[in-house]
């Protein structure tokens, strides 16, 4: 009986397994194709963070942006430089050793002021030639007188008189030349001195010094000093290629120095560089400025150039502009009790506590008159 029972159980198990497999194949055949695709995307709309709801809008009055016509401005940085035409080198025509220096770099000097002394063999040789020329001229003068007297008494030929006259004339030329040579070196022919005094050729400020005490000086070599007349200076600016339309030769520009922000100067555009910087794409623009006495070489400043045509810009009260995170903002009413914060570019301050708006706002638009109060209410 046991083998038969096992056979019945095995047959029943096989039947159940076959029914299960057949039901699985049937269910896969009836699957919905639409259910196999991706689920539809659900878009969540982000709220505008620049729009705010104001509980009591009547507490924040509105103002209408005005209009101001002004030429566009270009502000660039520049440095104070000496006027090259007003730089005068101090030269020495005698070679020798420096025995005294009486001025230094940065000193103000006057024309004719003693700057340094040089002991030179050139001066010693010059005095020697001068003394010889004096003796030669004296001898030629005496010989001419004697020849003239003999000629008057018929004891000398006219040709001999002409030779004596020629010798006297040449002796005078030699004397005058050697005397002028000493004067050119800076010495008085009547006073023997082997030291050359070098004085300032013009009044100004010593901007370069190439000599020290006991140093050697070569004639017409390196200039011991350079004196600059700083009554007029240059302000040299770098202007980008795209902004060159703002600069025109002969027009004026406003200059403000970093050291003296309240000092307003004007400079005339005298030159625009003919060669562009190949790396920065800038051109050198030179402004000629009269020095009121405060300008020093190397100072930094800002030059403001003005465009040829005027542009219309919006103006609002200064309190309507909110300075937040290094940016400028204004609040513009949208609808009902909602306002929108708009980023703008602030410009110059105008009379009446008004401020220019270079971009972001048009004349005629209405803005909240006190942006700071509204911002405090929004943050609460």
Instruction: Give 243-265 as a DSSP string.
Output: GGGG--TT-EEEEEESS-TT-EE
Confidence bin at 30 (pLDDT 50/70/90)? low
* Average pLDDT taken over every residue of the chain: 84
Residue 242 has pLDDT above 50, yes or no: yes
Residue 344 has pLDDT above 50, yes or no: yes
C-alpha span between 341 and 52 (Å, rounded): 8
What's the CATH fold of domain 121-193? Helix Hairpins (1.10.287)
C-alpha span between 49 and 342 (Å, rounded): 11
pLDDT, tens digit, for every residue of 102-160? Answer: 999 989 999 999 999 999 888 888 889 999 999 999 999 999 999 999 989 888 898 98
Residue 15 has pLDDT above 80, yes or no: no
**What pLDDT is recorded for position 111?**
92
> Strand ranges (DSSP E) for 172-258?
195-199, 204-209, 216-217, 225-228, 232-240, 252-257
In this structure, what token pair is assigned to residue 338? 């909602």
Helices (H) and strands (E) in the chain, counts: 4, 23
**What pLDDT is recorded for position 1?**
41
For residue 303, CA distances in Å to 157, 261, 263, 311, 323 come to: 83, 12, 13, 20, 25
Confidence bin at 26 (pLDDT 50/70/90)? very low
3-state secondary structure of 277: coil
CATH code linked to domain 74-84+228-306: 2.40.30.170
pLDDT, tens digit, for every residue of 273-332? Answer: 999 999 999 999 999 999 998 899 999 999 999 887 888 889 999 999 999 888 999 999
Residue boundaries of the structural domains of the chain: 52-70+311-379, 74-84+228-306, 121-193
Q: Of 42-51, 146-155, 197-206, 280-289, where does the model show the most confidence? A: 280-289
3-state secondary structure of 342: strand
Note if the pTM is more than 0.85: no
CATH code linked to domain 52-70+311-379: 2.40.420.20
Report CA Rg, the chain: 48
**What pLDDT is recorded for position 302?**
95
């Amino acid at each position: 009986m046991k083998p038969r029972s096992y056979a019945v159980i095995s047959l029943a198990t096989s039947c159940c397994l076959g029914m299960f497999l057949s039901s699985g194949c049937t269910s896969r055949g009836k699957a919905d194709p639409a259910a196999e695709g991706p689920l539809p995307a659900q878009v969540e709309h982000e709220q505008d963070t620049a729009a705010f709801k104001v509980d009591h809008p009547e507490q924040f009055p509105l103002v209408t942006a005005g209009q101001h016509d002004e030429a566009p401005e270009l502000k660039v940085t520049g440095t104070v430089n000496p006027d090259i035409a007003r730089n005068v080198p101090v030269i020495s025509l005698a070679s020798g050793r420096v025995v005294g220096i009486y001025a230094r770099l940065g000193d103000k000097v006057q024309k004719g002021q003693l700057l340094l002394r040089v002991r030179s063999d050139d001066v010693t040789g010059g005095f020697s030639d001068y003394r010889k020329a004096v003796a030669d001229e004296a001898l030629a003068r005496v010989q001419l007188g004697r020849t003239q007297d003999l000629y008057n008494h018929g004891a000398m030929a006219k040709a001999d008189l002409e030779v004596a006259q020629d010798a006297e004339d040449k002796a005078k030329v030699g004397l005058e030349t050697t005397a002028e040579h000493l004067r050119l070196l800076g010495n008085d022919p009547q006073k023997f001195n082997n030291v050359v005094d070098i004085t300032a050729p013009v009044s100004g400020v010593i901007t370069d010094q190439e000599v020290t005490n006991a140093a050697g000086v070569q004639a017409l070599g390196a200039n011991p000093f350079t004196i600059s007349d700083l009554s007029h200076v240059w302000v040299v600016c770098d202007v980008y290629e795209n902004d060159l339309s703002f600069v025109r030769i002969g027009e004026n520009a406003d200059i403000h120095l970093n050291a003296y922000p309240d000092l307003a100067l004007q400079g005339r555009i005298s030159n625009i560089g003919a060669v562009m910087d190949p790396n920065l794409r800038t051109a050198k623009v030179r402004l000629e400025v009269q020095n009121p006495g405060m300008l020093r070489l190397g100072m930094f400043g800002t030059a403001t150039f003005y465009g040829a045509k005027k542009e219309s810009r919006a103006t609002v009260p200064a309190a309507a502009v909110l300075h937040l995170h290094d940016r400028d903002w204004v609040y513009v009413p949208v609808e009902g009790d909602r306002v929108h914060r708009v980023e703008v570019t602030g410009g110059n301050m105008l009379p009446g506590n008004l401020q220019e708006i270079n971009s972001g706002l048009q004349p005629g638009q209405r803005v909240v008159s006190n942006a700071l109060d509204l911002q405090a209410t929004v943050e609460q």
